[in-house]
Amino acid sequence: MEAATAVRREHAAPPAGVPRLLAGVRAHGGRMSFREHTRWYGDPAVGLSARGLIHEVDQAGLRGRGGGAFSTGRKLAAVASARSRPVVVVNGMEGEPGSGKDRHLLAVAPHLVLDGAELAAAELGASRLIVAVRRDAVDAVRSLSRALAERGKGWFGLDPVEVAEGPPRYVGGEETALVHWLAGGPIRPLGVPPRPFERGVSGKPTLVLNVETAAHLAQIARYGAGWFRSVGPAHAPGTALVTIAGAVGRRGIAEVGLGASLEAVVRASEPRSEPAMLLAGGCFGGWLPWSAAAALTCDPDALRLAGAGLGAGILVVAPEQTCVLAETARIAAYLAREGAGQCGPCTHGVRAVAGDLQVLCSPQANGLVTDRLRRRISVVEGRGACGLPDGLVRLVSSALERFPDHVAAHERGHLCRQSAVVPLPPARALSDADWR
């Protein structure tokens, strides 16, 4: 124990505030090589409490950073209690358009992610460890392969970490879709149950950890649950990476303390003009008028209660002239294209909802269209194998409920100017090859 403490002193002290994940990266001015990483952090297993990783992560209250905010401790425990040797998958598929935080983390701090992944795999006695990353995230792919070469065999003597470069689809980060693709199928969600933690890759219980979640796990192992909880509210402790987009001077990735004022986070990104609204949580989040957003914090539960979300940390800042209906129509059209085409109510419903929104933004708009749209979102909700339709329902509801005057103006024939604030990939029809 003394030796371990002595070794620890040579390394950087635990970050006292924010940033945490990016503290070392900031100090090094960029990507941390394996040598820089080990000098900063030391051996990842040092400092791990005798009660083990699962206990520590559970005590830390870590919740997944991929969008679901599910308890990582419970997920670990569920996989640990399975009878056969599990598989660990690090999920870097980051399907949400505009999100770049997992890709960024892999590009600058790949060893922190790999530490967390290897710690989890070692703790669970995993037979395989796979890091799945979007194949178009070239910087992340390159940094990851360099990192694996730098690490050699890895800390825990596991077989080589496998890297899987997946197709960049919106639903690609959904756990069952990813598992399906890793088994050789198209990257489309499967009906559930069984969940991946019961039966996933090769039929084995599978722990799917978001990239950022794996990095937090590595820091919890090193610095402990008490340290982790020293930032953020008790129900959602720690920091989170957010991707800020829209009309701001400083777009990109920021690390924020959960519980931080949303207004402060947005102001720090230097809005070009006074924000009028905020899309919090991306395509499965919701719209908030700026007055409401400014009173809220970066808290997944509070944002969900407010009809939005934190999701995978996407914040889109929209200025005064933004049309919330046109932006929502753009997102709905995107989701209609990116739908897996498996579930009838989603395939037809999302397309119909996107169509209604488009009509609402045209000279043909009237109150009957809004009524039909409301009826349709109530019919579509809960009727997909994955959460895509439910996400769209939340998004559309937030636009209709939070901006009734704007909706009424459209119904009376008011036409907004073109609006394209939310970052979305260009429209393109998908073929079968795009799902492999």
Binding site for another protein (CB under 8 A): 190-191, 342-346, 348-349, 352, 379, 383-385
Nearest-approach distance from CB 348 to another protein, in angstroms: 4
Nearest residue (CB) to another protein, 267 versus 372: 372
Nearest-approach distance from CB 189 to another protein, in angstroms: 8
Beta-strand ranges (E) seen in 346-397 are none
Q: How far apart are CA 392 and CA 397, in angstroms?
A: 8
Nearest-approach distance from CB 342 to another protein, in angstroms: 5
Nearest residue (CB) to another protein, 35 versus 375: 375
Q: Which residues of 202-225 are buried (b: 16+ CB within 10 A; e: fewer)?
A: eebbbbbbbbbbbbbbbbbbbbbb
Other residues' Cβ atoms within 10 Å of the Cβ of residue 430: 14
Nearest residue (CB) to another protein, 241 versus 380: 380
Nearest-approach distance from CB 376 to another protein, in angstroms: 8
Joined tokens for residue 27: 């100090």
Nearest residue (CB) to another protein, 125 versus 341: 341
Joined tokens for residue 116: 């967390």
Nearest-approach distance from CB 363 to another protein, in angstroms: 25
Nearest-approach distance from CB 396 to another protein, in angstroms: 17
Direct distance between the N- and C-terminal alpha carbons of the chain, in angstroms, rounded to an integer: 49
Nearest-approach distance from CB 384 to another protein, in angstroms: 6
Q: How far apart are CA 101 and CA 314, in angstroms?
A: 9
Nearest residue (CB) to another protein, 348 versus 374: 348
Nearest residue (CB) to another protein, 178 versus 308: 178
Nearest residue (CB) to another protein, 263 versus 381: 381
Nearest residue (CB) to another protein, 192 versus 415: 192
Nearest-approach distance from CB 390 to another protein, in angstroms: 12
Q: How many residues does the chain have?
A: 436
Question: Residue 339, Cα to own-chain centre: how many angstroms?
Answer: 18
- Cis geometry, peptide bond prior to residue 186 (ω within 30 degrees of 0): no
Pairing status of strand 275-280 against strand 286-289: antiparallel
Between the CA of residue 398 and those of 4, 47, 115, 369, 435, what are the distances in Å?
A: 52, 45, 39, 17, 30
